[in-house]
Structure 1
Amino acid sequence: MSDTQASSSPAPSASQTGKKALAWAHTARFLTTASRLDQLPAIELPEIAFVGRSNAGKSTAINTLTQQRQLAFASKTPGRTQHINLFELGPKGAPDAVFADLPGYGYAAVERAAKLRWQEVMAQYLEVRRSLSGVVLLVDSRHGLKELDHQLLRFVAPRVGSGQVRLLVVLTKADKLNRKEANEALRGAGAALGEFVTDEADIGITLFSALKKTGLEDLATTLYDWAHPEAPPGAAED
């Protein structure tokens, strides 16, 4: 082996990068829960929020991403989980990021007062939470973005447009779609996003299936890169 070969390292393959990002996601562990914004601890780490309608499969996606069956609470009655739950990631004693699981919204059986209260809490969180660095909006790929999703985008659009916050729309339950329907879902989501954010904003759209693990490594890699902006693109720490 020549000196040149010995001193250079090959770039990690997409599979290696995805596996390392998944290993990082697997370190997620419960930190705290809060029913109001002022109950959340001040955090200096990058915070990535997961948001979506109550039937979008948000808890299932988080559990699939972290490879933990019950990390995120998935109620049999959508809309019942009304707390912000924080999970820290990275080495124990030296975490490097936080996931924030926000309550699902839009379930019809939830009382109007509760809906309005959580709408206000989520709006405040998305608009003022200082540690927020990324938002993952989960949308049922079969139905596309609805009015409440548009409303949420309006809350966070100024911070996304200014580069403070990154945005990823995850189209869940992609295993229910054929190829044509999947392409239509991607186009529809892109058109909807165009109404709220500029072309320069850091946004993405991806198909995801918890059942078939479609898009899982891509999702993990994206979130790892968000949490480690100092690392080379697509790279994960050993």
Structure 2
Amino acid sequence: MEITSAEFVISNSRADMCPKTNLPEYAFIGRSNVGKSSLINMLTKQPKLAMTSSTPGKTLLINHYLINKQWYLVDLPGYGYAQRGKKMMEKIQKLIEYYVLEREAMTCLFVLVDSRHEPQKIDLEFIEWLGENGIPFAIVFTKADKQTIGKTKSNVQHYLNILQEQWEELPPYFVTSAEKKTGREELLNYIEQINQSLQQNP
């Protein structure tokens, strides 16, 4: 798939205010500072589409971007940023839960994980929650350029081994680097495959 147009449509703080649409939505989520904005900008080839910030926890809203006039890329708030305070954390958790569980247009959720780190409890619990609720998702390992290829490979394998302790079948996964554009083609092709199968089986 080649992205020919990507336009910001709306930001909002309530999942029930999302666009009324029958287009598929592909949502991106992860812990604060996992590289979500950089990944979105890399996928769309628009360096300023999603605002990147060195301050974790900047995305507090659901952001919709219309891609090729055919599907939405949805940027969800990052979870697990403790400095937001308990009330804000609870508000964001409710927002995420409502969108993920209730949004019918949500076609696949991409869970971003920093490829440099050991598996984090908060990510594993979130992934488990998705499984329990039957949510279609894929894992995106980010920041692969920040270490050697071998280190990324072994970290990803370690992650998959841990998931296999609970999952009979592993979810699809992608290894990406916003800097080097690694994984861009694979991820967009995956979205395109889903879009095609939706058109064939409306």
Paired residue for 1:11?
A: none
Q: Which moved more, 1:184-193 or 1:101-110?
A: 184-193
The unaligned stretches of length 5 or more in structure 1 are 1-20, 233-238
Q: Structure 1 residue 85 and structure 2 residue 63: aligned?
A: yes
Q: Which moved more, 1:67-76 or 1:43-52?
A: 67-76
Paired residue for 2:101?
A: 127
Letter in structure 2 aligned against 1:146? Q
Letter in structure 1 aligned against 2:63? N
What are the superposed Cα offsets for residues 88-146 of structure 1, whole Å, 9 maximum, x if unpaired? Answer: 112xxxx2211110011222321221111111211221122111111111111001442
Q: Is the 8 A contact 1:123 1:152 kept in 2?
A: no
Paired residue for 1:167?
A: 137
What are the superposed Cα offsets for residues 57-108 of structure 1, whole Å, 9 maximum, x if unpaired? Answer: 0000000010001111223321122000011112xxxx22111100112223
Paired residue for 1:177?
A: 147
Tell me the number of residue pairs that the alignment of Structure 1 and Structure 2 aligns.
Answer: 200
Match of 2:192 among 224, 227, 230: 224
> Which of the pair has more CA radius of gyration?
1
CA distance in 2, matches of 1:83, 1:173: 23
CA distance in 2, matches of 1:110, 1:195: 33
Letter in structure 2 aligned against 1:122? I
Q: Is the 8 A contact 1:153 1:196 kept in 2?
A: no
TM-score by length of 2: 0.89
CA distance in 2, matches of 1:115, 1:107: 8
Q: Percent identity?
A: 33
Check 1:44–1:196 CA distance in 2 against 1; reply closer, same or farther (3 A cut).
farther
Check 1:159–1:221 CA distance in 2 against 1; reply closer, same or farther (3 A cut).
farther
Q: Is the 8 A contact 1:32 1:86 kept in 2?
A: yes
Check 1:173–1:211 CA distance in 2 against 1; reply closer, same or farther (3 A cut).
same
Q: Structure 1 residue 215 and structure 2 residue 193: aligned?
A: no
SS at match of 1:120: helix
Check 1:35–1:225 CA distance in 2 against 1; reply closer, same or farther (3 A cut).
same
SS at match of 2:112: strand
The unaligned stretches of length 5 or more in structure 2 are none
CA distance in 2, matches of 1:177, 1:226: 31
Q: Structure 1 residue 142 and structure 2 residue 120: aligned?
A: no
Check 1:31–1:37 CA distance in 2 against 1; reply closer, same or farther (3 A cut).
same
Letter in structure 1 aligned against 2:25? E
Q: Structure 1 residue 50 and structure 2 residue 44: aligned?
A: no
SS at match of 2:88: helix
